Every structure is written in C-alpha cells, then in structure tokens.
C-alpha cells in the first residue's frame, strides 16, 4: 500500500469512526456500522453485523440489504459458513471463489446460487468478550483484495468499541428503567394494601415467584393496570 493509499485509508477510518460514534442507540450504532463498513472496505457490496447472545445463539441485527439477511440465516441454520467460522474458530475468515471452497460443503452451493462470489467475515470483540461479527459479501467478483482483510480488521476495532459502549449505555438505561417501574409498583402496592415499603417489595417478589413472571414484568403490568384504571375513572 503506497503513501496515498494509506492516507485515504486513514481518512476513511476516521470518517467511519465519527459516523459510528455519532449514533446513540444500539440500533442506530449497528446501522451506522454496516453502512460505514461498506464504504470503507473495498470490494464488497453487501454488509451485515451479527450479534452473539449469552445462550450461544447468533442473530443478524443490521444489514445493507436483503441478501445479507438471507445468507446470514442460512449460515446459522447450517451452523457453517464464513460468518460462523469467524465467531467460533478464527477472527478473520477469507473466502475467495466461494463456490469452489470446500470448507463449507453445504453452505457454499447455496451462497453461489444466491449470487455470492466471495465473502469476508471478521469477529467483533473486546478484551472481555466476543460481541458478534461483520459479514461482507461480494456479488461482483470472486477475488478479494489482499488489503481488504486488514482494512476490515482495523474497521472492526472501531466498530467493536462503539458497539460495546452502546450496549453498556443501553444496559444502564434498562437498569434505571427497571428500578423506576419497580419503585412505582411498590408505591402502588403500599397504597393499595396499606403496608410498608419492605413488605410491599416482598409481596411483589412472592407474586413473581408464584406466577413465574419476572418482577419487572409484573411491575410493568401493575403500573399499566393502575394507569388505565385512573384513566377510565377520570373519564367517567
């Protein structure tokens, strides 16, 4: 890579980083990632991002087009393909001339049938966990630029950092919302049964265990019912 190319790459990554980090919610961050990746990594027309869950399942959360959703789903169902290999075996998987790649005997023919000629998959990870992966598809060429894997890997570092921050902020917001709704439910229970706060909380916990419903879900239902009751009462 010559000096001009390196400068162009640095500028592209800087712009991609600004775009990704400007997003706020997880959904906005994921959509920013796939579109910035398509613009930054040469030779790929379609990009998706998959997320790993604690139970080991994988889910595509954002994509630049329908082809990505289709091919990602096939890989999950078959439990094979570059996307799956990048998550389970090695952080970067290069699949040029995919149709004749023997590593995925069930997936490769179906990808070729859908028009995919080459594929690149890069793991998204932090120093604590694997977050998911970037899945890049080419329908125009069965060759992959020698520079593409390195560029995608550099891009993945920015993407993983942004996604990790967005996920952390989402978890914090979710925790705050949970505390708020549970606090409202405790107040409703205290008022309804004329009991102190600790007993009201114990009441909700016992109701949760008996009904096998999470405390937060139970609290949300109680708050919703009470709000609806007041609304109907005020209209009468």
Q: DSSP letters along the chain, please?
A: --HHHHHHHHHHHHHHHHHHHH--SHHHHHHHHHHHHHHHSTT-SEEEEEEE-TTS-EEEEEESSHHHHHHHHHHHHHT-SHHHHHHHT-SEEEESSGGG-TT-TTHHHHHHHTT--EEEEEEEE-SS-EEEEEEEEESS-S---TTHHHHHHHHHHHHHHHHHHHHHHHHHHHHHHHHHHHHHHHHHHHHHHT--HHHHHHHHHHHHHHHT--HHHHHHHHHHHHHHHHHHHHH-
Domain boundary at 103, 127, 145, which? 145
Whether residues 40 and 90 share a domain: the answer is yes
pLDDT at 80: 96
Whether residues 108 and 7 share a domain: the answer is yes
The answer to whether position 155 is within a domain reads no
Whether residues 103 and 194 share a domain: the answer is no
Backbone angles phi, psi at 169, to 5 degrees: -65, -40
pLDDT at 64: 94
Structural domain harbouring 203? 172-235
Whether residues 67 and 103 share a domain: the answer is yes
Look up the CATH number of the domain holding residue 130: 3.30.450.40
The answer to whether position 57 is within a domain reads yes
Whether residues 47 and 134 share a domain: the answer is yes
pLDDT at 3: 46
Whether residues 35 and 141 share a domain: the answer is yes
Look up the CATH number of the domain holding residue 212: 1.10.10.10
Whether residues 132 and 28 share a domain: the answer is yes
The answer to whether position 153 is within a domain reads no
pLDDT at 9: 52
Whether residues 118 and 212 share a domain: the answer is no
- pLDDT single digits (tens) 139-165: 999 999 998 998 888 878 777 776 666
- pLDDT single digits (tens) 167-183: 655 555 566 677 888 88
Length of the chain: 236
The answer to whether position 59 is within a domain reads yes
Whether residues 56 and 131 share a domain: the answer is yes
CB 204 within 8 A of CB 187: no
Number of domains in the chain: 2
The answer to whether position 166 is within a domain reads no
The answer to whether position 151 is within a domain reads no
Whether residues 19 and 126 share a domain: the answer is yes
The answer to whether position 55 is within a domain reads yes
pLDDT along the chain (236 residues), means of 10: 51 54 66 83 92 84 93 96 93 94 96 96 82 93 92 80 62 67 84 84 82 82 81 68
Whether residues 30 and 110 share a domain: the answer is yes
Domain boundary at 110, 145, 180, which? 145
The answer to whether position 190 is within a domain reads yes
In terms of Cβ atoms closer than 10 Å to its own Cβ (0-12, 13-18, 19+), residue 54 is exposed
Whether residues 181 and 140 share a domain: the answer is no
């Amino acid at each position: 890579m010559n000096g001009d190319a390196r400068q162009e790459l640095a500028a592209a990554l800087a712009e991609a980083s600004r775009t990704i980090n400007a997003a706020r919610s997880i959904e906005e961050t994921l959509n920013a990632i796939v579109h910035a990746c398509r613009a930054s990594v040469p030779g790929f027309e379609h990009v998706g991002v998959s997320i790993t869950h604690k139970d080991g399942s994988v889910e595509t959360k954002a994509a630049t087009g329908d082809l990505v959703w289709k091919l990602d789903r096939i890989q999950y169902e078959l439990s094979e393909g570059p996307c799956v290999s990048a998550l389970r075996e090695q952080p970067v998987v290069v699949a040029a001339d995919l149709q004749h790649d023997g590593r995925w005997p069930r997936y490769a023919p179906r990808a070729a049938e859908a028009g995919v000629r080459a594929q690149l998959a890069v793991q998204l990870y932090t120093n604590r966990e694997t977050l998911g992966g970037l899945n890049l598809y080419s329908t125009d060429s069965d060759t992959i630029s020698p520079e593409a894997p390195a560029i995608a890997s550099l891009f993945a570092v920015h993407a993983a950092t942004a996604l990790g921050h967005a996920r952390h902020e989402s978890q914090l917001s979710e925790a705050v919302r949970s505390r708020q709704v549970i606090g409202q439910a405790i107040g409703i229970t205290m008022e309804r049964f004329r009991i102190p706060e600790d007993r009201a909380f114990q009441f909700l916990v016992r109701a949760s265990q008996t009904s096998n419903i999470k405390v937060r879900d139970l609290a949300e239902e109680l708050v919703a019912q009470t709000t609806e009751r007041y609304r109907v009462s005020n209209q009468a």
